[in-house]
Amino acid sequence: MVSCPHRIPDVSRSVPVVPPALLAAALALTLTSCAGGGGGGGGDGEGTRKGAAGLRDPYFPKLGNGGYDVTHYTLTLGYTPPSGTATAAHLRGTAVITARATRDLGAFNLDLRGMDVASVAVEGAAARWKRAGQELTVTPGGGLDEGETFRTTVRYSGTPETITDPDGSQEGWLPTADGVLALGEPTGSMTWFPGNHHPSDKAAYDITVTVPEGLRAVSNGELTSETVDGGRATYSWRVVEPMASYLATIAVGRYEIGRYEIGRSTVGRGEGKGRLPVYVAVDPTQAEDSRAVLGRIPEVVAWAEGKFGPYPFSSTGAIVERPQDVAYALETQNRPVFPGAPGLPLLVHELAHQWYGDSVTPKSWRDMWLNEGFATYAEWLWEEDHGGDSAQETFDALYDGDHFRDAEANEAVWDFPPAKPPSAARISDSPVYERGAMVLHKIRQAVGDAAFFELIRGWAAAHRHGNADTADFTAYAEKFAAKAAPDADLTPVWEDWLYGEGRPPKP
Tell me whether residue 93 or residue 336 sits nearer to ligand TRP (CB atom).
Answer: 336
Tell me whether residue 6 or residue 238 sits nearer to ligand TRP (CB atom).
Answer: 6
Bond before 186 cis per omega within 30 degrees:
yes
Q: Least distance from C-beta 246 to ligand TRP, angstroms?
A: 8
How many residues sit in the footprint of ligand TRP (CB under 6 A)? 14
Show the binding pattern over residues 171-190: x = contacts ligand TRP (CB under 6 A), - = does not.
--------------xx----
d(CA 269, CA 256): 35
H/E element, 259:
strand 256-263
Nearest alpha-carbon partner for 494 in 469, 467, 475, 468: 475
Q: Least distance from C-beta 361 to ligand TRP, angstroms?
A: 12
206 Cβ neighbours under 8 A, 6+ residues apart:
72, 73, 74, 75, 236, 237, 238, 239
301 binding ligand TRP? (CB under 6 A): no
Tell me whether residue 434 or residue 496 sits nearer to ligand TRP (CB atom).
Answer: 434
Tell me whether residue 140 or residue 357 sits nearer to ligand TRP (CB atom).
Answer: 357
Tell me whether residue 90 or residue 363 sits nearer to ligand TRP (CB atom).
Answer: 363
* Residue among 205, 328, 374, 416 that touches ligand TRP (CB under 6 A): 328
In the window 29-58, what residues touch ligand TRP (CB under 6 A)? none
Q: 185 contacts which partner out of ligand TRP, Zn ion, none, CB within 5 to 8 A by kind? A: ligand TRP
Tell me whether residue 180 or residue 424 sits nearer to ligand TRP (CB atom).
Answer: 424
d(CA 458, CA 486): 17
Q: Least distance from C-beta 405 to ligand TRP, angstroms?
A: 20
**How distant, in Å, are the alpha carbons of 265, 296, 303, 457 from that of 311?**
9, 16, 10, 11
Q: 374 contacts which partner out of ligand TRP, Zn ion, none, CB within 5 to 8 A by kind? A: none
Nearest residue to the partner ligand TRP, using Cβ: 428
6 binding ligand TRP? (CB under 6 A): yes
Q: 428 contacts which partner out of ligand TRP, Zn ion, none, CB within 5 to 8 A by kind? A: ligand TRP
| DSSP codes, 83-128 | -SSTTS--EEEEEEEEEEESS-BSBEEEE--SSEEEEEEETTEE-E
Q: Least distance from C-beta 308 to ligand TRP, angstroms?
A: 16
How many residues sit in the footprint of Zn ion (CB under 5 A)? 2
Contact 237, 224 (CB under 8 A): yes
Q: Least distance from C-beta 7 to ligand TRP, angstroms?
A: 4
- Max Cα–Cα distance, the chain, nearest Å: 70
Contact 279, 291 (CB under 8 A): no
H/E element, 238:
strand 232-243
360 binding Zn ion? (CB under 5 A): no
434 binding ligand TRP? (CB under 6 A): no
329 binding ligand TRP? (CB under 6 A): yes
* Residue among 330, 438, 468, 485 that touches ligand TRP (CB under 6 A): 330
Report the amino acid identity of residue 277: P
d(CA 383, CA 21): 44
Three-state SS sequence of 412-480? HCCCCCCCCCCCHHHCCCHHHHHHHHHHHHHHHHHHCHHHHHHHHHHHHHHCCCEEECHHHHHHHHHHH
7 binding ligand TRP? (CB under 6 A): yes
Q: In the β-sheet with 250-253, what is the strand arrangement from edge to edge?
A: 162-164, 170-176, 179-183, 250-253, 216-219
Tell me whether residue 429 or residue 472 sits nearer to ligand TRP (CB atom).
Answer: 429
* Residue among 305, 350, 383, 496 that touches ligand TRP (CB under 6 A): 350
428 binding ligand TRP? (CB under 6 A): yes
Cα radius of gyration rounded to whole Å, the chain:
23
362 binding ligand TRP? (CB under 6 A): no
Contact 316, 367 (CB under 8 A): no
Tell me whether residue 106 or residue 342 sits nearer to ligand TRP (CB atom).
Answer: 342
Show the binding pattern over residues 141-160: x = contacts ligand TRP (CB under 6 A), - = does not.
--------------------
Q: Least distance from C-beta 102 to Zn ion, angstroms?
A: 31
Q: Least distance from C-beta 87 to Zn ion, angstroms?
A: 36
375 binding Zn ion? (CB under 5 A): yes
Contact 298, 351 (CB under 8 A): no
Contact 210, 230 (CB under 8 A): no
Which positions lie near Zn ion, rule CB under 5 A? 372, 375
Binding site for ligand TRP (CB under 6 A): 6-7, 185-186, 328-331, 349-350, 353, 372, 427-428
